[in-house]
Chains A and B, each alone.
Chain A
Amino acid sequence: MSAITTGTGLADGGSESLPARPAGTNAARGARRRRRWARLRRDRSLIIMTLPAVVLLLVFGYTPMLGLVMAFQSYDLYTGFLHSPWVGFANFEQLFTDPGFWQAFRNTLELFSVQLVLSFPIPIILALLLDSILSRRLRAFIQSVVTIPHFFSMVMVITIFNEILGGAGLLDTFLRGHGLRNPPQLMTDPATFKFLISAQLIWKESGWGMIIYLAALAAISPSLYEAAAVDGASWRQRTWHITLPGLKPITVLLLILNLGYALTFGFEQMLIQLSAVGPGAAQVLSTFSYENGIVQGNYSYGAAAGLFLGVTSVILILAANKVAHMLGEDGLYGKAKR
């Protein structure tokens, strides 16, 4: 990338292109400063262009981070951050002895793992199926149909599930019509909730997830298959030795990145269904923070739960990216570092 600037004749194109500087002398320091000013003047419109985004992030991204000090206060709406009394780690002590918190913690892990195991393989299977279709037009048609639900809102997806699987829904009516006295209440049963949310996620996101695997499949060189077929490899052998190894890098990467978001997963989905299923099964860490902080007005306590969630999530995401890098993949932030 830097080759572009150095080749244009702009003497101060990038710091890499500057001659080795004799450090220390006043003249050199002055020259460096002048050059920096020149660069800044040259780039001022570029910097101005970033300002709207910077201001928005400052106000709605960084100010709330400062607001997290309230987790160490007993925050009062009327006295504000500046005058609320400090309580040290009292909120966290309460948090870690709160059975509701640990319930939410367990739910988060359980819902996340069940959902991951059930829904993760589906896009890969879909991609393999679609890739084996010869007709381009049919393939494009199927792809556009299965991708659509990704663009529906969670509220809408759950509403549709409710009309089909819920009480007085299609399935319920059908089963009652065929003599079943007490059909299973799939939308409100805490025991099967983990499967319900998995089904919702599979319905909504599998097609979207498939696209990236399709691209990976398209990137496998056809000459590999050809050579294997010439050598007499069967369909099964080609799949096992060429297709699946070709999908492995992206699969590992997506799996790891997924794990990074384990704790913050499913906020809207659980929040919408919380009242129907009950906190015993549907309360996750993010809804726990919201319920305590906003709904019950216990701001500091909710913020403490939020801070715990935020810090553990950062650790998880960074660890996930680290692992992805170690496996030789571009992590989430690897892309931007160029």
Chain B
Amino acid sequence: MTIIAGKQRRRAPERPVWQERPSAATQGAKSGAIVVILLIIAFPLYSVIMTSFSTQASINVAGGLVVWPHGLTLNAYRLIISGGVVGRALMISLVLTLAGTAISMVVTILASYGLSRPGSSGHKGILWFMMITMFFNGGIIPLFLVVSALGGYDQYWALILPSAVSVFNIIVMRAFFANIASDMIESARIDGASDWKILWHIVLPTSRAVTAVIALFYAVAYWNSWFNILLFMPSDSVKWPLQMVMYDYVTEGMTMPGSGVTGVGQYLGNQQIAPLSLQMAVVALTVLPVLLVYPFVQKHFTKGVLLGAIKG
């Protein structure tokens, strides 16, 4: 048991003394199960990414998704970067996600703090006012008509504002705010600090974890949102964010504008780009930001996620 401190990291993790060593068969079955589970998640992603880097010849050999690549090329991504539908949609999605997340976070943080002080006047009524919308809403059709009446049809704000507030997130964040540093907040209040100052200098710095997790929830929701585009922006394909482009050109297999006949790829210079490779590049791009941000927020998960996990 006593090992030099420096070597402790390498040591195999310890089994509790009371736990019997599992048999080789159990160990084997467990390892097998884990490998299968990891493959089920990773394999589809792997083949999508491989295909997005593949040449038409390689795709022809595979007859569809490429598992063993024969020739790799960056052409699909070069085409996307050089402009056109996908490149534009990517930019639109990024801007929408950033703007939407910023708006949602400001509104959510303010409301959460505003409702988090015990005994403040009116906070119970406002909380109920908000929570009712969690259980009942007018449904799609009245919302569509209200947004249209406000002139939101084909407007980007219609993709942000109607879903900008998640009452669930407010409740989660409010619970955190109510529990942190209450005595500090109250004494700052007595010293005459305004609530704005308290929020900015005391509450926010001490609740980075929950802020990060909720920002991730919002960002993912904006990045992945698809139905509200279908609802509020169904026909103006020039304005579409990435999810809608993916739905139309990949899921539904419509022809991308400028590519001519279905089934014939686009050209970059005089090189033909495999349609499937381009489609899979679109899929890969929708996943990329998630994979990039995920590791940074993941460490906050165990704390922040538990309330979110119920949300599903």
Q: Which residues of A contact B (CB under 8 A)?
A: 1-2, 4-5, 8-10, 13-16, 36, 39-40, 42-43, 45-50, 52-54, 56-57, 59-68, 70, 80, 126, 129, 132-136, 142, 144-149, 151-156, 158-160, 162-164, 168-170, 172-173, 177, 203, 205, 207-209, 211-212, 215, 222, 225-226, 229-230, 235, 254, 257, 267-268, 271-272, 275, 286, 289-290, 293-294, 299, 302-303, 306-307, 309-311, 313-314, 317-318, 332-333, 335-336, 338
Closest to B15 in A: A134
* A173-B63 in contact (CB<8A): yes
Q: Are A65 and B64 in contact (CB under 8 A)?
A: no
Which chain A positions have C-beta within 8 A of B224?
Answer: 151-156
Q: Tell whether, in the assembled complex, residue A64 and residue B16 are in contact, meaning their CB atoms are under 8 Å apart.
A: no
Among residues 180 to 197 in chain B, which have CB atoms less than 8 Å away from a CB atom of chain A?
182-183, 186-187, 189-190, 194-196
Given contacts A2-B118, A36-B121, A215-B306, contact A164 B20 (CB under 8 A): no
Contacts of B141 in A (CB 8 A): 67, 70, 289-290, 293-294, 299, 302-303, 306
Q: A57, B167: Cβ atoms under 8 Å?
A: yes
Closest chain-A Cβ to B307's Cβ sits at a distance in Å of 7
A169 with B65: CB separation less than 8 A: yes
Query: Which of A1, A54, A229, A268 is in CB contact (< 8 Å) with B118?
Result: A1
Looking at chain A's contact residues, the main secondary structure is helix
Say whether A212 contacts B306, CB under 8 Å. Answer: yes
Q: Is the CB of A60 within 8 A of B143?
A: yes
Specify the chain B residue showing the minimal Cβ separation from A122: B37
A267 to B34, CA, bound (A): 32
Given the contacts A148-B290, A159-B251, A60 and B162 also touching, CB distance less than 8 Å: yes
Q: Is B96 an interface residue (CB 8 A)?
A: no
Contact (Cβ within 8 A) B13 A134: yes
Q: Report Cα–Cα, A43/B115, bound state, in Å.
A: 10
Cβ–Cβ contact A64 & B139, under 8 A: yes
A-B contacts, 13 of them at CB < 8 A, read A4-B118, A5-B119, A14-B118, A47-B126, A59-B146, A146-B38, A154-B226, A155-B246, A156-B283, A203-B41, A229-B19, A303-B142, A332-B134
Give a binary string over B268-306; 1 marks a CB under 8 Å from any A CB, 0 the rest: 000000000000100100110011001100100110011
Supposing A57-B165, A153-B286, A155-B247 touch, asked if A64 and B121 sit within 8 A by C-beta, the answer is no
Bound Cα distance from A1 to B115, whole angstroms: 13
Cα-based distance from A299 to B275 in the complex (angstroms): 39
Report chain B residues within 8 Å CB of A136.
13
Closest to B67 in A: A170
Stretch in B73-81, B84-92, B104-112 touching the partner: B104-112
Residues of B within 8 A of A (CB): 12-16, 18-20, 22, 30, 33-34, 37-38, 40-42, 44-45, 47-48, 62-65, 67, 106-108, 110-111, 113-115, 117-123, 126-127, 129-131, 133-147, 149-150, 161-165, 167, 170-171, 174-175, 178, 182-183, 186-187, 189-190, 194-196, 199, 220, 223-227, 230-231, 243, 246-247, 250-252, 280, 283, 286-287, 290-291, 294-295, 298, 301-302, 305-307, 309-310, 312
- How many pairs of residues, A versus B, come closer than 8 Å at their CB atoms? 313
Q: Given B18, B139, B175, B306, which contacts A229 in the complex, CB threshold below 8 Å? A: B18
* Residue from the list A43, A135, A170, A289 in contact with B121, Cβ < 8 A: A43
Q: Are B42 and A145 in contact (CB under 8 A)?
A: yes
In the assembled complex, how far is the CB of residue A173 from the closest CB belonging to chain B, in whole angstroms? 4
Residues of the A chain whose Cβ atoms lie less than 8 Å from the Cβ of B145: 64, 67, 70, 299
Known contacts A49-B110, A173-B62, A336-B127: does B41 contact A134 (CB below 8 Å)? no
Task: Provide the residues of chain A in CB contact with B133, threshold 8 Å.
Answer: 57, 61-62
Query: Are A49 and B111 in contact (CB-based, < 8 A)?
Result: yes
